[in-house]
Amino acid sequence: MLESKKMSATKTQLLGLTQAELISFAEQFGQPAFRGRQIFASLHHNRLREFAAMSDLPKQLREQLETLATPASLTVESRYLSADSTRRYLLKTHDGLPVETVFIPEERRDTICFSSQSGCPLQCSFCLTAQLGLLRSLTPGEIVEQIIIALNDAYGVGQKPPHGTNLVGMGAGEPFLAFESLMKALNIIADPKGLHIVPNRVTVSTAGIVPRIKELATMADRPHLAVSLGAPTNEQRDVLMPINRKWPLAELLSACKEFERSLKRGERFTFEYVMLRDVNDSDEHARQLAKLLNRHELRVKVNLIPHNEAEPLPYHPSSRTRVEAFKSILEAKGIPAFVRRPRGQDIFAACGQLAARREANPIHA
Ligand code: SF4
């Protein structure tokens, strides 16, 4: 068992290769370029997770691939189905670490919330993932594979989804601390010969890694950005989101301004604000938040997210009337605000609840 784990760790993880890299990989062991393209399509377009199932490849090539590479490296440990049809997948890496992915069906599109790290090094006090600490950042292949697993589970292996798929990098981990993996994964996911989910359908959320926000501002093909604020003052944000001690609000918001200036037509840029009852949800907090955004002349919208309870965290969600009052104050000060409806709370799939939690009622994989 240990031996097989070691072996799979040294084999090339094909899902982490771009189409061009897969072509070179095939050429390195004497195959023509079209075989590389075929393997890419089998993995990403047909979403096959075993070489044996790639029947358009010669048997000998499939056997050769078995010895050199791996078409999949995550295993599905459990699946949970919410009363609102959200699905949560608890996956495991080849080295035994937890990865979580959430599939959220909606009338006109589906959203897959993927993880960029196993655990998370940032200590946001309202988030259960923080309690795992950082186990490690995920590889590009492990990010891509989460999408393949969720789509195969929802629609069947290789079946075309009936409508568009949006991706959000809001699962476990801070995506901007896995920046290279993330960007490579998004590049692979966008390939028209594969999953073909373009950056315009992807939103990545950061707790405020300032240098990466600035870097993103200079990139041409980039996902949409969401920045998690959590508090309107440094004093409070230092406690709720300790990353603020490294990059305080003034630095964060001036990076956001730089990003806002680089926005192209149709690009989305949002702030997320988790609402914690009696902690950051008063009228005064709303006024402070409006003042902060207006001072930096930021015209982006704010998503208000009532906290999802997750023991042993000491927080509770703000009441509906409190959320509405907070929203009205922002709007009166010229800031568009929206309330995000939580999904999958009953299966610990909602924002801030991902902590590799095993429940008593998994559905069969
Ligand atoms: S909210 Fe995001 S960045 Fe903060 S600890 Fe949780 S997973 Fe990490």
pLDDT value for 359: 58
170 lines ligand 1 (CB under 6 A): no
pLDDT value for 348: 66
- The C-alpha atoms of residue 353 and residue 245 are separated, in whole angstroms, by 24
Question: pLDDT tens, position by position, for the chain (365 residues)?
Answer: 333 444 455 899 999 999 999 999 999 989 999 999 999 999 999 999 999 999 999 999 999 999 999 999 999 999 999 888 899 999 999 999 999 999 999 889 999 999 999 999 999 999 988 889 999 999 999 999 999 999 999 999 999 999 999 999 999 999 999 999 999 999 999 999 999 999 999 999 999 999 999 999 999 999 999 999 999 999 999 999 999 999 999 999 999 999 999 998 888 899 999 999 999 999 999 999 999 999 999 988 999 999 888 888 899 999 999 999 999 999 999 999 999 877 776 666 666 666 656 655 555 44
Q: Of all protein residues, whose CA lies closest to atom 4 belonging to ligand 1?
A: 124
Q: What atom in ligand 1 is closest to the CA of residue 130?
A: 5
Look up residue 135 and give its amino acid.
Answer: L
124 lines ligand 1 (CB under 6 A): yes
- The C-alpha atoms of residue 203 and residue 170 are separated, in whole angstroms, by 8
Q: Of all protein residues, whose CA lies closest to atom 3 belonging to ligand 1?
A: 174
Q: What atom in ligand 1 is closest to the CA of residue 123?
A: 5
355 lines ligand 1 (CB under 6 A): no
- The C-alpha atoms of residue 189 and residue 194 are separated, in whole angstroms, by 7
244 lines ligand 1 (CB under 6 A): no
102 lines ligand 1 (CB under 6 A): no
pLDDT value for 357: 61
- The C-alpha atoms of residue 118 and residue 116 are separated, in whole angstroms, by 7
pLDDT value for 308: 83
Which residue matches tokens 């095939």? 26
Which residues are known catalytic residues? 100, 351
Pocket residue to mutate for ligand 1, from 122, 128, 138, most atoms within 8 A of Cβ: 122
Q: What atom in ligand 1 is closest to the CA of residue 173?
A: 7
Residues 6+ apart with CB under 8 A from 279: 240, 315
pLDDT value for 347: 67
Secondary structure of the chain in the HEC alphabet? CHHHHHHHHHCEEHHHCCHHHHHHHHHHCCCCHHHHHHHHHHHHHCCCCCHHHCCCCCHHHHHHHHHHEECCCCEEEEEEECCCCCEEEEEECCCCCEEEEEEEECCCEEEEECCCEEECCCCCCCCCHHHHCEEEECCHHHHHHHHHHHHHHHHCCCCCCCCEEEEEECCCCCHHHHHHHHHHHHHHHHCCCCCCCCHHHEEEEECCCHHHHHHHHCCCCCCEEEEECCCCCHHHHHHHCHHHHCCCHHHHHHHHHHHHHCCCCCCCEEEEEEEECCCCCCHHHHHHHHHHHHHCCCCCEEEEEECCCCCCCCCCECCHHHHHHHHHHHHHCCCCEEECCCCCHHHCCCCCCCCCCCCCCCECC
SS3 161: coil
pLDDT value for 310: 80
Residues 6+ apart with CB under 8 A from 237: 229, 230, 231, 244, 248, 249
State the DSSP H helix or E strand holding residue 186, giving kind and residue range, or none if neither: helix 179-190
Look up residue 351 and give its amino acid.
Answer: C
Pocket residue to mutate for ligand 1, from 102, 114, 120, most atoms within 8 A of Cβ: 120
Pocket residue to mutate for ligand 1, from 124, 134, 177, 239, most atoms within 8 A of Cβ: 124
pLDDT value for 16: 98
What is the length of the chain? 365
Distance 170 CA to ligand 1 centre (A): 8
pLDDT value for 9: 52
174 lines ligand 1 (CB under 6 A): yes
- The C-alpha atoms of residue 299 and residue 171 are separated, in whole angstroms, by 26
Distance 341 CA to ligand 1 centre (A): 19
